[in-house]
Amino acid sequence: MSLMDALPSPRLRWDGRHPNIVLVTLSLTMLAAFWLLDVVSMAPNRIVAGTGYGALDAFGWPGALLVTLLLSFIGILASQPSHRHYRALLAAVVVVMALMPVGLMASSYLLIDPEMSQARLGIGAAYWIVLFVLLLCLVELRLRLNLTRIWLTLLLLGVALVWWLCVAFGLERLALVQEFRARDQQFLSAVVQHIKLVGIAVSVSVVLGLALAMLMRRYARLQKSAFAVLNFLQTIPSLALFGLLLAPLAWLAANVPVLSQLGVSGIGTTPALIALIAYSLLPIVRNTYIALEEVSADTLEAAKGMGMRTGQRFWQVRLPLALPVLLEGVRITTVQAIGLTAVAALIGAGGLGTFIFQGLGQAAMDMVLLGALPILMLALVVDAGLGALAEALRPGGTR
Amino acid sequence: MIELSHVSKRFGDETAVDDISFRVPKGKFCALVGTSGCGKSTTLRMINRLIEHSEGDIILDGQAIDVYDPVKLRRRIGYVIQHTGLFPHWTVARNIGLVPRLLKWSAADVQSRVAELMHLLSLPVDEFAHKYPHQLSGGQAQRVGVARALAADPDILLMDEPFGALDPITREKLQDELAKLQSRLHKTVLFVTHDMDEALKLADHLVVMREGRIVQQGSPLGLLQNPVDPFVESLLGGLERGLKQASLTRVKDHMTSMGPTLPAQSRIPGTFSLRQALSMMLRDHSDRLTVVDQHDVPVGELSLRRIIKEAQLDNGNPRE
C-alpha cells in the first residue's frame, strides 16, 4: 500500500470504483489479437509452410462470437472492479484457458479434410498472444485477490489436465502432437537427459560453489581473483566455450586411457557438463558468499557470547539464516542451466536442444517448439518450486 | 565475583582500555557508565573473552579467566546485548533454551526450565513459546533476551546496554522488573549503560569511565555527593544532582513521628522517594506531608525543612 500512496496523482489510485486499467488493456489486446492475427494455420504436410486462418475460418461464426463475448466480459468486469468481479474475472480467465484446446479441436474439425492424411494444424500467433496475456491476467488477479501459491498451482494444474485430455483424445491433427507422436520415446529420453545434465551440473556447482565461497570468506585475497575468473567465464559465449573445450578434452581422452574409460571425450556429456558448471559457478558463489556475509553481526556475536562453538555457529545460525538467499542463487543457476543445456545438444550431449537444432535444420518449426516448450515449462516449474522452497525457509515465515 | 586488576586492552597502537581495576562482589549489581567509545563495552566483552585483554588479570570466582576454555566460560556467564541478538529463525522457546541445550541438558529439563523462565519474565508460555522474534515488540524481545541469558542459571550476568534501544516507557518498566528480579535472584551483574539515571536506579556500585580509564567509582549516593571532577558531575546531571540524590532516598527513612498538629492533607506512601515527596509538595503548595503505610494508615510526617536538613546530614557522612 505504501507504493500506492506514493503515486503522484490520486486519480491513479485504485479505490474500487475506477476501472482496472491493466486488465482492461489486456482484454483489449486479446480481442485485437484474436480478430487481427492468424488464429491457426493449416499445412497439407510437414514441410510445406502452412496457410494462416483468422477467427471466423477457424471457429466459425458461433465460436468466434463466444470467444469475443468471453474476452469482452473480462474487459467489462475489469472496468468496474470489486472483489466479486475479480473472482468472476478469475473464473473467466481460467475458463478461457481451459477452452483453448477445445477451440483447436473445433478448427481441426472445420478446416481439415479427413481425406488428407498428412494435413496438420499449427497454432497461430493469436493463440500464443492470448495465452501469454491470460497468464499476465492471472498475475494481476493473484495480486488483487491475494491468491496463495497453492491455489494458483491448483488452478493451473486443472487447466493443464484439460489440455492433456484434449491432446490425448482429440488433437491428433495438431502439428506439435504429430511431432511428438513420431518420436515419443526419443522425446522422453531427451527430457530425462536434459534434467540429468542440469541436475548434475547444478549439484556439482552447488558443492564446488559452497566450498569456494567458504574459502573466499577465510582468505580475503582469494575473493577478488576468484570473482574475476568467474566473471570472465561468464562472458565467454556458450557456443565458444563448448568449442574451446573440444580440443583439450579430445587430447586428454586420447592420451589418458583412464579418462576415456570414464567417458571423457571431446564431444558429448563431459564437455557439456564442464561448460555448464563453469557458467553455474558465478551465480552460486556470488549468492552463497553474499548470503553468508549478510547474516547480522549482532546475531552472530550473540551466538558466540552464548558459548556456541565455531561449527555450531555456522551450522545452526549462519547457514540457516543464509539459506533463503543461497537458494535464490540455486534457483537462478538452475533456470539458467536449463536454458544453456539446450545449446549443449550441438556438441552431442543430447537433451531437448536436439529437437530445436534438428527442427531448425529441417525447417520444421513445430519440431523446434517440441524442444523449446518443454524447456520453458521446466524452467517455470523449477523457478516456482525453488521460489516456494526459499519462501518456506524464511525464518519464522517472514523476515 | 568479578574482579579486574590493572586490565588494559590495546588495538595496535590505540589503547581502548587503560589500566582499570574494579570488583563486583557476589550478588551485587555494578554499572559501567560513560559516554560512547569510552571502553565500557570493550571491558564487558573482555570478561566473557569475546575480546582478549592485553594486560592485567580478570578473575571470576577466584579463577583467572585465561585458564577456562572460552566456550565453556561463556556458557557459565549470562549475556544480554542491546539489539537482543535473538536468532530470527528460532522460536522464543528455542531461543531461551539455547545454553541448556549446549550444555546437553535433557529435552524435558530444557522444556521445564524454559517454561519457568518465561513465567519469571511474564511471558505467558501459551502465547509466546511458538512466536518468532519478529513477531515480538521491542520490550518482549528483550525479555526473551534476558530469559535466554538466565537459562542455565549462571552466577554472573553481563548486560551490554540492554534497554538502550527501547522507548522510555518500556525501558522504565523493564528496569523496574530487572530490579525486582535481581532482588530475588542475587546474580553478580555487570551492566553497561550510558544512561546515568538507569545506572543510579539499578546499581549498588558505579564505575564511571572516560577514554578507557576509570574516572571514579563508588556507591550511587557517594558519587552524587562527591563527584571528583566536572565530567562526572555533568554525567550526574549538573544542577539536577540534588534531585537525583533525593530520588535515591526513601521517605520512610526520613520521616518523623506524627506531631501534635493536625495531619497534613497530602498523603505519601513511605516507600516513595524524597524526590517524589518534593514534587508532591510543589504540586500541593504544602510544606508538610502525611506518610502512610501500604494500607493507607498514617505512620508519620515529613516536612520540607526535614528534607533539606537530611540532605545536609547526608553530605556530611555518605551512606554505606
B102 chain-A contacts, CB cut-off 8 A: 306-308, 312
Residue B110: its pLDDT value, please?
93
A299 chain-B contacts, CB cut-off 8 A: 85-88
B31 DSSP β-pair partners: B191, B206
- B130 Cβ under 8 Å from any chain A Cβ: no
Interchain CB distance below 8 Å, B102 and A317: no
CB B266 within 8 A of CB B285: no
B100 pLDDT more than 90: yes
Average pLDDT for B185-192: 92
CA of B120 vs chain A CAs: smallest distance (Å): 20
A399 chain-B contacts, CB cut-off 8 A: 88, 134
SS3 letters for B12-49?
Answer: CCEEEEEEEEEEECCCCEEEEECCCCCCHHHHHHHHCC
- Length of chain B counted residue by residue: 320
CB B290 within 8 A of CB B280: no
Helix, strand, or coil here: A296? coil
- DSSP labels, B171-230: HHHHHHHHHHHHHHH--EEEEEES-HHHHHHH-SEEEEEETTEEEEEE-HHHHHH--SSH
CB A338 within 8 A of CB A382: yes
The answer to whether the pTM exceeds 0.80 is no
Average pLDDT for B265-293: 85
Phi, psi of A121 (to 5 degrees): -105, 130
Interchain CB distance below 8 Å, B79 and A320: no
More confident residue, B245 or A306: A306
- B86 Cβ under 8 Å from any chain A Cβ: yes
Residue B260: its pLDDT value, please?
63
Average pLDDT for B143-157: 92
CB A260 within 8 A of CB A253: yes
B73 chain-A contacts, CB cut-off 8 A: 307
C-alpha grid cell for residue A67? 470467444
d(CA B216, CA A291): 45
C-alpha grid cell for residue B148? 535466554
More confident residue, A338 or B264: A338
CB B22 within 8 A of CB B193: no
d(CA A155, CA A91): 10
More confident residue, A182 or B96: B96
Residue A223: its pLDDT value, please?
80
d(CA A209, CA A215): 10
Average pLDDT for B232-245: 79
What is chain A's Cα-based Rg?
26
Residue A49: its pLDDT value, please?
76
- Give the highest mean pLDDT range of A10-19, B47-56, B270-279: B47-56
Q: How far is CA B28 from the centre of its chain?
A: 10
Residue B316: its pLDDT value, please?
45
More confident residue, A198 or B165: A198
| Closest Cβ opposite residue A321 in set B73, B74, B89 | B89
| Closest Cβ opposite residue B74 in set A306, A395, A398 | A306
B12 pLDDT more than 90: no
Beta strands B156-160 and B188-193: pairing type?
A: parallel
Residue of B nearest to A310 (CA): B71
More confident residue, B185 or A397: B185
Residue B314: its pLDDT value, please?
55
B318 pLDDT more than 80: no
CB A172 within 8 A of CB A308: no
B104 chain-A contacts, CB cut-off 8 A: none
CA of A394 vs chain B CAs: smallest distance (Å): 8
d(CA B283, CA B191): 35
**N- to C-terminal Cα distance for chain B?**
20
| Closest Cβ opposite residue A302 in set B81, B91, B134 | B81
Which pLDDT tens digits describe chain A residue by residue (399 residues)? 444 444 444 444 545 567 888 889 999 999 999 889 888 888 877 777 778 888 888 888 888 899 999 999 998 888 888 888 888 999 999 999 988 888 888 888 888 877 777 788 888 888 889 999 999 998 888 888 888 878 888 888 899 899 888 888 877 778 888 888 888 888 899 999 999 999 999 999 999 998 888 888 888 788 888 888 888 888 888 777 777 777 777 777 777 777 777 777 777 788 888 888 888 888 898 888 888 888 888 899 899 999 999 999 999 999 999 888 888 889 999 999 999 898 888 887 888 888 898 888 887 778 888 889 899 989 988 988 888 888 787 765 444
d(CA A283, CA A272): 18
* Residue (of A260, A263, A243, A242) closest to A251 by Cα position: A260
B24 DSSP β-pair partners: B2
Q: Cβ contacts of residue B116 below 8 Å, gap of 6+?
A: none
Beta strands B29-33 and A40-43: pairing type?
A: unpaired
pLDDT digits (tens, 9 = 90+) for B296-309: 888 888 888 887 87
What is the helix (H) or strand (E) element at residue B53, kind and residue range?
none
Interchain CB distance below 8 Å, B91 and A396: yes
Residue B257: its pLDDT value, please?
77
